[in-house]
Amino acid sequence: MKIFKVDKQDWVAGVEKLFTAYRLVGPVNEGQFHNFKKLNKGELPDFNFLNTRLSAKSLVHSQTEAMFEYSLDENKENHHIMVDVKKDYSSQAVIGIRPCDAKAFLLVKRNFDTSQYRDPYWIRAYESLTLVGLACHNPCSSCFCTTSGCGPFHEEGLDVLLVDTDDYYLAKILTDKGKNFLIASGWDTETDADGGDQKIEIMKKAAEEKITVLINTDKLKAKETIALYDAEFWEEVAFSCINCGTCTYVCPTCWCFDIQDETRGKSGIRMRNWDSCMFPLFTLHGSGHNPRGKKVQRVRQRFMHKLKYYVEKYDNGIQCVGCGRCVNLCPVNIDIRRVCELMNAYDPQLECPA
Amino acid sequence: MIDYSEKIKEISKRLLEEGRVDIVIGFKKGTVPMMNEPCLVKSSGEVEKFVWDSNCGINLANYLTGRNEKTGIVAKGCDSRNIVTHIIENKIKREQLYIIGVPCKGMIDKHRVAAMFDGEIKVVDEKDAKIIIKGENFEKTLDKESILQSNCSICIHRNPVLNDELVADPVEEQRDVDRYEDVRKIETMKPQEKWQYFEDMLKPCIRCYACRNACPLCYCPTCFVDEHRPQWVGKSQDPTDLRTFHFLRAYHCAGRCTDCGACERACPVGIPVRQFTKKLEKDCLELFNWEAGMSLDVRPPLDTFRPDDPDDFIK
Ligand code: SF4
Ligand code: SF4
Ligand code: SF4
Ligand code: SF4
């Protein structure tokens, strides 16, 4: 695919133009950290960040999303009928998403867009996006994307990859959506005459080399599920966990939600809210029984889901892109890299000699 | 701090070997800067894990809930006050505990330190009262005192109030501390201003409940926000439900909160939730001359009635 050279002098004018074709979203400095926010005319995405505090998942799967609305007023037409809530699914361009967050959408898609089930809310929102990625030159020491099926210059899931070369941006078009984005911005005029591809390759290598934390996932798939489930180390892993939902809420690949109806007076909505396997209400049965009633069971669910069940079910890697958010934000420092190592290396034979 | 760590190991080893305790709860070195992880040790062979430095801000009293073994626990000033609270609330028995007291000079505010630098912080070391912060292209030495968690910089009970053994001589307590400057500022606001202040403060909240779960007071088997038959509080990001969570949680901590700061430390988006609990703490001090967790022998103001309790607020 084509690579264009975007002069930094043309940046502001280009973003300005994009507002006529898209709703724009980008990283915005919120004081102590950056998050994705809708950009208003005149605003620019702020690229002075390592990664956003929260992932980009809420652009597709917001923490609270109304699905239906209803009226209980018998004088109204359609009363007692759930009606789709109207939403804006017009084209949206996300400028400055990191490759890990873009790849995360693909991992989630495997569950939300299958041959059997298609989640209409997720799919419509996802399809409205054009993802313009920003390559990472300085990955954090908590990043382990290169061994999680991703990388600081990873292209999968992106429509355009932007690479900051200091003097200008290189914009690599990866899809038709990406091509349209470049046309709309007017940045599609100057092709990089002197081998943009090679430049990107060199910078990519340099960035990848900075990632020194590697995880091993090669043995996860072949492990016997029950043996891993029964492993002794879960008690130790779970000890410090306080069962908050931080790790799952900041994770770009955690997808669980809970459906709730809320009625006020005679009208109401049916919505879905993020849920987390760390919470006591998660999988609580109507009978009052909860198969995951204890902390250790919840912690195990999180890691088994990401590093074993998902691996087995989709046969396409782990449910983690190595963004490191959970590592940095867990209040008690439970580190998925360490747990992954424990799981990958686990050998029940060694644990309990007969 | 190295001597603190060594002393903790030594005491733990002795306690485990002598059978005084079955387990010891302390901290082990974290995998990222400015973080240590609470850990549980069952045998004297494992005590080498233990560390102590300025990154032990999590309140270990939180890990006593539901324990029935003879438990050794490492406790700084605030942890010890929360242990006292656990004891007087009948969560655990005094006899069950061996408290390894740590005279404390405060914990580093990891949120604030991270926000001070543009690039990533890779290593944080400490030496005496200095903290050395290193990133890829920078290195800076700061006075520890200047980067303390805000609750630590106004702490007046740094020494454990209850302990079986101290790891070092008591430290000097801070005197003439103005603990409530921020609360007074809010108290003088007009209702609309106050409302706006709290609205802005809560805006980034993602309702992950890390603040609640890091709190040793929040041990209810089912928190009111998780209750679902009947469901008291909505589960969405509706601002009313969000406020309800924060306001009610604060009230549940009234007369019990020791201002340990674990809640603020745990919050992934840096919300100063102590703004709520501190007001109640100040009220308890002014109305009942009460500081939580200072004694095993006095009942807290909210579970006693005295004829001379102030009642001016009843109009
Ligand atoms: S599990 Fe952790 S590192 Fe992996 S994608 Fe989720 S937040 Fe990032
Ligand atoms: S079960 Fe847990 S780990 Fe898996 S997607 Fe849901 S919240 Fe994430
Ligand atoms: S963020 Fe840490 S403490 Fe909170 S639920 Fe996840 S692993 Fe447990
Ligand atoms: S820890 Fe922070 S984000 Fe989480 S519920 Fe508490 S205030 Fe909200």
pLDDT of residue B311: 86
Minimum CA distance residue for ligand 3 atom 6: A247
Q: B166 with B46, same domain?
A: yes
Give the CA count within 13 Å in the CB-facing half-sphere of B125: 7
pLDDT above 70 (res A354): no
Which chain B residues contact residue A328 at CB under 8 A?
A: 32
Point out which residues pair with A269 in neighbouring strands. Answer: A69, A262
Query: Any CB–CB contact under 8 A between A337 and chain B?
Result: yes
Q: B79 with B206, same domain?
A: no
Q: A24 with A140, same domain?
A: yes
Longest dimension (CA), chain B: 64
pLDDT category of residue A165 using cuts at 50, 70 and 90: very high
pLDDT of residue A172: 96
Q: A328 with A243, same domain?
A: yes
pLDDT tens track for A109-151: 999 999 999 999 999 999 999 999 999 999 999 999 999 999 9
Q: Using CA of residue A49, residue A54, residue B243, residue A267, what is the dihedral sign?
A: positive
Whole-number percent of chain A with pLDDT over 70:
98
Q: Which amino acid is at A326?
A: C
Q: Is B184 within the bounds of a domain?
A: yes
Per the structure block, which two tokens stand in for B272?
A: 């100063």
Point out which residues pair with A34 in neighbouring strands. Answer: A29
pLDDT of residue B314: 83
Q: Is B93 within the bounds of a domain?
A: yes
Q: How many residues does chain B have?
A: 315
Residue B64 near residue B96, CB atoms below 8 Å? no
pLDDT of residue A189: 85
pLDDT of residue A352: 56
Q: In this structure, what DSSP letter does residue A306 have?
A: I
Q: A194 with A302, same domain?
A: no
Q: B158 with B62, same domain?
A: yes
Q: A159 with A246, same domain?
A: no
Q: In this structure, what DSSP letter does residue B144 have?
A: G
Q: Ligand 1 pocket: which residues have CB below 6 Å?
A: A 250-253, 306, 320-326, 336
Q: Do B235 and A279 touch (CB under 8 A)?
A: no
Query: Any CB–CB contact under 8 A between B149 and chain A?
Result: no
Which chain B residues contact residue A34 at CB under 8 A?
A: none
Q: A146 with A94, same domain?
A: yes
Q: Do B210 and A63 touch (CB under 8 A)?
A: no
pLDDT of residue B71: 98
pLDDT tens track for A207-265: 999 998 899 999 999 999 999 999 999 999 999 999 999 999 999 999 999 999 999 99
pLDDT tens track for A282-324: 999 999 999 999 999 999 999 999 999 999 999 999 999 999 9
Q: Is A153 within the bounds of a domain?
A: yes
Cα–Cα dist B128/B143, whole Å: 9
Q: A81 with A29, same domain?
A: yes
The H or E element spanning position B274 is helix B274-288
Instruction: Report DSSP letters for B44-80, one per residue.
Output: GGGGGGB--STT--S-GGGGGTT--S-EEEEE-HHHH
| A55 C-beta closer than 6 A to ligand 2 | no
Q: Report which of A154, A141, A163, A148 is spatially closest to residue A211, judged by C-alpha positions.
A: A141
Minimum CA distance residue for ligand 3 atom 8: A241
Q: A114 with A263, same domain?
A: no
The H or E element spanning position B278 is helix B274-288
Cα–Cα dist A251/A332, whole Å: 16
Q: B239 with B168, same domain?
A: no
Number of domains in chain A: 2
Q: A91 with A154, same domain?
A: yes
Query: Any CB–CB contact under 8 A between A290 and chain B?
Result: no
- Tell me, letter by letter, the H, E, C secondary structure of B199-252: HHHHCCCCCCCHHHHCCCCCCCCCCCCCCCCCCCCCCCCCHHHHHHHHHHHHHH
The H or E element spanning position B115 is helix B110-116
Q: A191 with A253, same domain?
A: no
Q: Exposed, middle or buried: residue B248 (CB in 10 Å: 0-12, 13-18, 19+)? A: middle
Counting as low any pLDDT under 50, the low residues of chain B are none
Q: Is B132 within the bounds of a domain?
A: no
Q: Is the peptide bond before B230 cis (omega within 30 degrees of 0)?
A: yes
Q: A108 with A185, same domain?
A: yes
Per the structure block, which two tokens stand in for B18?
A: 């002598």
Select the residue of B115, B208, B265 nearest A244 (Cβ to Cβ).
B208
Chain B CA closest to residue A263: B234
Q: Report which of A170, A163, A174, A175 is spatially closest to residue A194, judged by C-alpha positions.
A: A170
Could you give the ipTM of this predicted complex? 0.95
Query: Any CB–CB contact under 8 A between A333 and chain B?
Result: yes
pLDDT tens track for A25-43: 999 999 889 999 999 999 9
Q: Is A81 within the bounds of a domain?
A: yes
| A242 C-beta closer than 6 A to ligand 3 | yes
Q: Is B311 within the bounds of a domain?
A: no
pLDDT of residue A348: 85
Angle at A279 between CA A221 and CA B227, to 5 degrees: 155
Q: Which amino acid is at A237?
A: V
Cα–Cα dist B223/B202, whole Å: 20
Q: In this structure, what DSSP letter does residue B146 have?
A: G
Q: B292 with B233, same domain?
A: yes
Q: B231 with B153, same domain?
A: no
Is residue B82 helix, strand or coil? helix
Average pLDDT, chain A: 95
Which chain B residues contact residue A329 at CB under 8 A?
A: 268
Q: B190 with B294, same domain?
A: yes
Chain A CA closest to residue B111: A32
Cα–Cα dist B207/B188, whole Å: 29
Cα–Cα dist B72/B274, whole Å: 29
Chain A CA closest to residue B223: A280
Q: Do A30 and B35 touch (CB under 8 A)?
A: no
* Helix, strand, coil fractions of chain A, as percent rounded to 5: 35, 20, 45
Q: B278 with B262, same domain?
A: yes
**In testing the pocket of ligand 4, which one of B226, B269, B275 has its CB within 8 Å of the most ligand atoms?**
B269
Q: A115 with A140, same domain?
A: yes
Per the structure block, which two tokens stand in for B73?
A: 């626990």
Q: What are phi and psi of B289, to 5 degrees?
A: 50, 45
Residue B160 near residue B77, CB atoms below 8 Å? yes
Residue B88 near residue B300, CB atoms below 8 Å? yes
Residue B81 near residue B60, CB atoms below 8 Å? no
Q: Which of A177, A209, A241 is the last residue of a domain?
A: A209
Number of domains in chain B: 2
Q: What are phi and psi of A14, to 5 degrees?
A: -65, -45
pLDDT category of residue A192 using cuts at 50, 70 and 90: low
Name the closest ligand to CA A52.
1
Cα–Cα dist A232/A351, whole Å: 8
Domain around B227: 178-306
Q: Which of A159, A175, A209 is the last residue of a domain?
A: A209
pLDDT of residue B2: 65
Q: A171 with A316, same domain?
A: no
Cα–Cα dist A156/A315, whole Å: 17
Q: Is A38 within the bounds of a domain?
A: yes
**In testing the pocket of ligand 4, which one of B208, B236, B252, B275 has its CB within 8 Å of the most ligand atoms?**
B208
Residue A249 near residue A51, CB atoms below 8 Å? no
Q: Is B29 within the bounds of a domain?
A: yes
Query: What interhelical angle do A176-185 and A11-21 show, nearest 10?
Result: 120
pLDDT tens track for A66-77: 999 999 999 999
pLDDT category of residue A190 using cuts at 50, 70 and 90: confident
Query: Any CB–CB contact under 8 A between A85 and chain B?
Result: no
Q: Is B127 within the bounds of a domain?
A: no
Q: What are phi and psi of A226, to 5 degrees?
A: -65, -40
Q: Which of A209, A234, A256 is the last residue of a domain?
A: A209
Cα–Cα dist B259/B281, whole Å: 8
Residue B141 near residue B124, CB atoms below 8 Å? no
Cα–Cα dist B79/B77, whole Å: 6
Question: pTM value?
Answer: 0.95
| A248 C-beta closer than 6 A to ligand 2 | yes
Domain around A136: 3-209
